[in-house]
Structure formats: C-alpha cells, structure tokens
Structure 1
Amino acid sequence: MRMVACLVLATGVFAGTALLATGCGGGGTTLVEPTPAAGGTEGDWRWSLPAYYPAPKVPADNPMTTAKVELGRFLFHDKRLSGNGSQACAGCHLQALAFSDGRAQARGSTGAVHPRSAQHLSNVVFNATLTWANPSLVTLEQQMLTPLFGDDPVEMGVNDANRDAVLQRLRDDADYPARFAAAFPGVAEPIGWPQVIQAIASFQRALVSADSRYDRWLQGRGTLSTSETRGMNLFFGEKAECFHCHGSFNFNDQIVHASSRIVETPFHNTGLYNLGGSGAFPEPNRGVFELSAKAADMGAFRAPSLRNVEVTAPYMHDGSVATLEDVLRHYAAGGRVIASGPYAGDGRANPYKSDLVTRIDLDDQEQADIVAFLKTLTDSGFLSDARFSDPFATRTTATAKGDGHAR
C-alpha cells in the first residue's frame, strides 16, 4: 500500500527528483545544505526534511540563518508590531491550529473583519502563491506588505502615522537591538522595516510540518488503520480523485522548491456558489476575477495544503463549510446547493466550475474513510514545537506587563 501513495507523489510536480526517488522506499531524513550568505555564519541553518521533500526555495537576498529565524519568531508573536499594539501576526495564526485562527473570517487589530479565512502556514515555504486568489504574490516578503500596511481591511494597522513609533517600540526593548544586530550584521541601522519583514519571512519558512502519522507510515515507522487505508486509497484513486488538486507531498497543487523549473499556479472554482444561476460568487470574494475581471476566473481560488487540515476548520476561502464531513459531502455532490437567501443558487451548475469537480458516488462509509485518512495528516509535534512557540508566553505576568507583551 505504501507504494500506491508514493507513486502518486512521484508522478506529480516532483517527478524525477532524487528526493522523491529515495523517500518512498521507507526511509528516514535527509539534511539539505543551506545557502551561505551574509546575515549568519555559513552552515548555520539546516533543513531537516524527509527524503521525499525537496529543498525549499529561499531568496538569495534573504538567506536562512538561525539568528534571523529566532528574531522572526519573537516578532511574529509580538503585539507591539501592530499599529495600536493590540495584535501580533500570531493573532490570526495560532500554532495549535497549524497557524490558522479557527474563525470563518479573520479579524484585524482594529476589529475589522476580513472577507476571507486566515490560511494556515504549515509548509508555507513550498507555496507557489501565498493568498487565496492573487497570482502575483509569490514571496513571503512581498505578501507581508499587505497584512502589515494594508488598510482595506486593516490587519496589523501600520501606517504612515505610526510606522516610526512601532519601530521605536522595538528599539526601546531590552532584547531586540542585540537580536537585530545578530541577525543582520554589518547593517548600520538593523531595526528597520526591511529587516522586520525578512526576519518574519525567515521564521515562516522554517514552519515545516513533516512528521504526521501518514509521514511515519510512508517511512515505515507507523501504521494506518483499515479505515484510514481505505480512505488513502480512495483519496489517491480515480474514484474520489482528490489527488488531482491535493496530490503533491504537501497535498496541494501549487508547489515551488529550490529545483523548480516550471511552476504551475492553478486556481479552481469548486461550485461553492452560483448566485441566481449566473455563476457569480458573493462580492468581494469572487476569486481571481477580482483582479483579472475575466469571467473564467469567477470563483477561482487556490487549493490549500491539506496538511494539518484536521485542526484548520472552518473550511473554504470564506470559512462557510464547518467540518471535514461537510467538505466531503460538498465534493461528493459536485458542488453546493443553497436553497434560499441572498446566496441562493445551485453551485453544481456553476458555468465556471472546474472540470475536476463533478458528482462522485461516495457512500457514507467511503466519505468517513477519507476523513479518517485526512486526520492522519495532523502533525501533533509541529502544533506544539517549542521552536515555533510564543517566546513571551513563559514570562511572568509582571514581566509581561512591564514590557508590553501581556497576552
């Protein structure tokens, strides 16, 4: 059975890579050398990856270093990085939820409700694009400008009026000057927005999840139940066809890595809406159409990675599907029917729906088996790994009140 899953991995976007060829036989971990560059000692950072994971792609102008990743961890969890000092990046990306937030729609530091759900950050280093429906955002550094400085909706709420004050909070901290200097040696003024963004991006790239029960099974270090095995075979088989959008090692279909030559970035309309039978999706959540104005892009969103999907409910771009069981029913039906109300329509008949989304004859047991398999993708170690945790959580209440980190 192990070779069934490995065959699907090997025939995806990584076909022919040495990493996949060595991984599916049952084995172990490979250490991938970092890119040596300024900002850390050569050989300072090591990726610890299963053999079927490729080496991550890292920008030449922001190489990975331990000092930078650790600085990024502090900044990611620091509420002082928001304009009003009320919310950290971690406010929408909680480690226990695979760095998602458990809400249908994210909320910013001023209380503004985002139209879309906060995506989880498991293995974000391998994502070819970085939002639900913007093909142009392809680096973490570029993407981070939106939550930091965007105003529609406000997320972190940094703007021209407070951006210098936010940096001053970091300069006045007892620890940050030394941390920035270690992460960015040789920079005359290391506490600046470019360095903040590079450090957080480095931390996000370090968020690698690769030790789920499924991974252990692939490596010959664990077992799957009968139900989980049936679900796996359905997932990777032509009956359920889940693998067409979720068949890579990262269980999505937009992948980039250090050896990528051709990077595909498909977006899909899954028949979630069909307002009035017109094919429309509710504004402002109309997918890539919001940027392209092309009818074919109506309702087209990125297929997210299914790693740790058990803990990232609710689902879909707008959080409108509550449970994994509901997700399976949606795809088995070939789309969603909304009988009444402002969003009424038969998503199964959406004229822009992907050809990959059709009615699938899955009985209740088969759907339950697929859900059971999806739960084997939970990496419990990743969800509690101290390397990614809130560094301020262990401080005493008195210290927290004194330095502005009170949770």
Structure 2
Amino acid sequence: MIRFFTLVCGLALLSGCEFDSNSTFTNTDDAQSLRSLLDLPDHMPLPAIPDYNPLTQEKITLGRFLFYDTKLSANQTQSCASCHEQGSAFADGLTAPLGSSGHQLVRNSQGLGNVVYHSTLTMEQQWFFELEEQLNVPIRADNPIELGVTDAVLPDVLTRFQQDPDYQTMFNLAFPDTSRDKSNITMNKIIFALASFVRTMISASSPYDKYLLGDKSALTQQQIRGFQLFNGEKFECFHCHSGVNFSSSYRDANTALDALQFPFFNNGLYNVGGDGSYPDEDQGLYDLTLNPTHKGLFRPQSLRNIALTGPYMHDGSIASLRGVIEHYARGGSVTLTGKNAGDGRVSPLKSGLIQGFDATEEEIDAVIAFLESLTDDKFISNPRFSNPFTEQR
C-alpha cells in the first residue's frame, strides 16, 4: 500500500495536476481531430482523455517506440510488448508471465484492446483511473518485479534514452514546451507517451461490429443465437460484460465523474478454507483494502478479442472459453486437492449473479461462436500498433 501511494503521489506531483480530470468534447472540430488520431470509427464513442496529457501524434509515435524497447527494463531484457503481443490482442498466451528478473508473476497478462474505455485500470485496483497512474506499476514496482525500474536504477535507465539521438528528437517533438536539454528526458514523460500510445489501441472492426453496422451476413446463425444467449437471463453474461466494450467497468468522454461505476466481483473461482478466500498470492481487491469481504473481487474484463487472450481468469487457471462457460454454468469452480482446495459454488463471498444454469452443448457452442465473432483481425495486424524496430531493419 505504501509503495502504491508513493507511486501515484509522485506522478501527480510531477504532472502538476490531479487525476480526476475527464475530457468532454463540445467542439466538433476537436472531437473529429481526436477521432482521426485514434482512427476511431463513428459507432465507437469518444474515449475520456485526461486534460493534463492531451493526445498528440508525436506522443503516440514516441510511446510506440517505448512500448517495444527493452531499454525500458532495468536489465534491458524485456519491454512492455514482452507480455503484450499484438498477435494475441496484446496479451501473451501464458498462464502468468515472468518478470524481467525471472520472477514468476501471479497475474495473467491482460489484453490491451480498448483499455481506454475502462473506468478503472488493472483487474483489482479501484484507485487507478488513468493509464498514467497504472503504468507506474509494471515499470517501477519492486514486488513483484516486472520491468524493474526502481529508484536505484532509474538514472541509468533514463541515461539510455538521453544518450540516444533518435530519442532526443522524439522527446523534443512530443514535449516541445520543455527544455531541449537531453537530460530533460524523464520517467514522467515516458509514462505520458506510453499512455498516449496505449490509448490508440482501439478494436472496433470485428464481425460483431460489422453486424451492428448493418451487415447481417457478418454473423452466422449460430453466432446470432450465441449473442441472444449471451444477453439472456439464462446465461446472464451481459450483467458483467455489457455495452460497447463488453465490460461493466466503463467510461467514455461523456461519462460524468459522479456517474462512474467501479464494479468488482467474486465469481466463485475459489473458496479456500470455506470462507470465500482466494489463494494467498492473489486475493484481488482484498490485498489493497484488507477488508475481508473484498476477497476474490476482480474487475470484469472486456471480452473483445477474447478468443485470442486465453488462458482465462485473473490467474490464467482456465484454459479455454468452454472451460469458462462451464465454470459459470456450475456456479463456480471446485478445487479438489492441495492448499487451495475448496468449493467455489458455495463461497459466502460469491456474487449473487453467479447462480449456475443448465446449458446444452449446442448452447455452449453457440456462445463460444459469438465470442469468437469479437475477434478483430484488423486490430491484431494493424501496422499502427506493430513493432517499429522491426520496420527499421
């Protein structure tokens, strides 16, 4: 908790502003300019962009290079892209990745598509409202170590960029109102540029989107049936996975701050000891609040490109989409042996939405087919998001 507040407060001081701003675009030209920068189709709402870090092409370009550059890890072995691969919708296909120092992480890597539309960032963090806050954790935290840029090594990491003429040019273009002294490259600017790039990762060209826009041949009859089941009271998927981003954790540029929702749910994945606990290494929101009723609370993920981002759940413990649906059909999962043994179906902390249901194989197949229609082939091959260093070779 101390490390968390130190990181957030430090970034707030550097930026000289508070993290409660929310951009609302009343000027048509400004809105259209943002749509152009994001390559945002008309059926997608304008995302919320914080006033203290306005989006520019120069910051997006710089952020793209930083995202793929291993110089941003303490030992220069990993980049952001090491755990967020474009072909996997910016997840990595692993149960849980290793950090740059070889430390085994406990959290499954999230896909980053449409992350700009979440009301809170990370699976269990109720206080990270902006990417500028969240990015500090994988870059700078020391428990667990991901990129490992602790205070002790920060000067060395910054020097790598300060001594690179190409980065000097990109930083000066991205932040033109600051000194052009090469030593003025800071971690704060790195984070602002990375946040700008990640905000452009909009996925909105799936067969489902085409169907919504009037192409009734874009979905098969099986997928349409799956869509109906997904939004019906039997499967009840829509309660947690709703709206344009298929998550109840949502905001856009027109969402009033006092109307923001911060949903977290215990879905009965574990019931260690019979009191609703999750494995000690990751108990979700409880690890931050120490409120016993918060054990196992995690934020609903977006389901866009979900067929590409397995394995599933916060710990990657369910290998397939079929396994996920079967988990909810049971009303929870049962761990028979080991230190995490328990019956999640009877967890006292499980959400009342997870009741279980009877489903035929045909119905499960239909819902899986619908979820597969959320795969956006354009997104995973878009050169706007690809590795710029590969292009230079």
Q: Which residue of 2 aligns with 1:187?
A: 178
Q: Which residue of 2 aligns with 1:278?
A: 275
Which moved further from structure 2: 147-156 or 171-180?
Answer: 171-180
Partners of 2:244 and 2:124 in 1: CA distance: 22
Contact 1:32 1:46 in 2 (8 A): no
Q: Which residue of 1 aligns with 2:328?
A: 331
The alpha-carbon distance between structure 1 residues 350 and 224, as it changes in their structure 2 partners (threshold 3 A), is same
Aligned partner of residue 388 in structure 2, secondary structure? coil
The alpha-carbon distance between structure 1 residues 54 and 43, as it changes in their structure 2 partners (threshold 3 A), is closer
The alpha-carbon distance between structure 1 residues 180 and 45, as it changes in their structure 2 partners (threshold 3 A), is farther
Structure 1: gaps (5+ residues): 1-30, 37-41, 397-407
Aligned partner of residue 63 in structure 1, secondary structure? coil
**TM-score relative to the length of structure 1:** 0.86
Contact 1:33 1:47 in 2 (8 A): no
Of 377, 383, 388, the residue aligned with 1:391 is: 388
Write the mapping of 1:5-24 to structure 2, written as runs, cut at 5 A: none
- 1:229 pairs with 2:249: no
Write the mapping of 1:160-199 to structure 2, written as runs, cut at 5 A: 160-188=151-179, 189=181, 190-199=184-193
**TM-score relative to the length of structure 2:** 0.89
Deviations 1:113-138 (A, max 9, x none): 11111111100111111111110111
AA aligned to 1:65 is: T
Structure 2: gaps (5+ residues): 1-26
Q: Which residue of 1 aligns with 2:291?
A: 294
Aligned partner of residue 168 in structure 1, secondary structure? helix
AA aligned to 1:231 is: G
Q: Which residue of 2 aligns with 1:125?
A: 116
Of 137, 154, 158, the residue aligned with 2:128 is: 137
Aligned partner of residue 181 in structure 1, secondary structure? helix
Contact 2:284 2:294 in 1 (8 A): yes
Partners of 1:35 and 1:377 in 2: CA distance: 26
RMSD over equivalenced CA pairs, Å: 1.9
Partners of 2:295 and 2:147 in 1: CA distance: 29
Q: Which residue of 2 aligns with 1:213?
A: 207
Write the mapping of 1:250-329 to structure 2, written as runs, cut at 5 A: 250-261=245-256, 262-329=259-326
Partners of 2:34 and 2:279 in 1: CA distance: 49
| Structure with higher helix content | 2
1:322 Cα deviation (Å)? 0.5
1:43 Cα deviation (Å)? 7.4
Partners of 1:111 and 1:243 in 2: CA distance: 38
1:276 Cα deviation (Å)? 2.8
Aligned partner of residue 46 in structure 1, secondary structure? helix
- Identity over aligned residues, as a percent? 43
- 1:114 pairs with 2:114: no
1:32 Cα deviation (Å)? 7.2
Deviations 1:101-121 (A, max 9, x none): 111112211111111111111
Deviations 1:64-117 (A, max 9, x none): 011110110000000011111110011111111111111111221111111111
Q: Which residue of 2 aligns with 1:150?
A: 141
The alpha-carbon distance between structure 1 residues 45 and 230, as it changes in their structure 2 partners (threshold 3 A), is closer
AA aligned to 2:206 is: S
AA aligned to 2:208 is: Y
Partners of 1:32 and 1:359 in 2: CA distance: 47
Which moved further from structure 2: 284-293 or 127-136?
Answer: 284-293
The alpha-carbon distance between structure 1 residues 33 and 71, as it changes in their structure 2 partners (threshold 3 A), is farther
Partners of 1:169 and 1:276 in 2: CA distance: 49
Contact 1:34 1:46 in 2 (8 A): no
Aligned partner of residue 49 in structure 1, secondary structure? coil
Deviations 1:266-318 (A, max 9, x none): 10000000113221110121111112222221111011000000000000000
AA aligned to 2:364 is: Q
Number of aligned positions between the proteins: 362
Q: Which residue of 2 aligns with 1:340?
A: 337
Partners of 2:187 and 2:339 in 1: CA distance: 43
Which moved further from structure 2: 92-101 or 183-192?
Answer: 183-192
Contact 2:35 2:46 in 1 (8 A): no
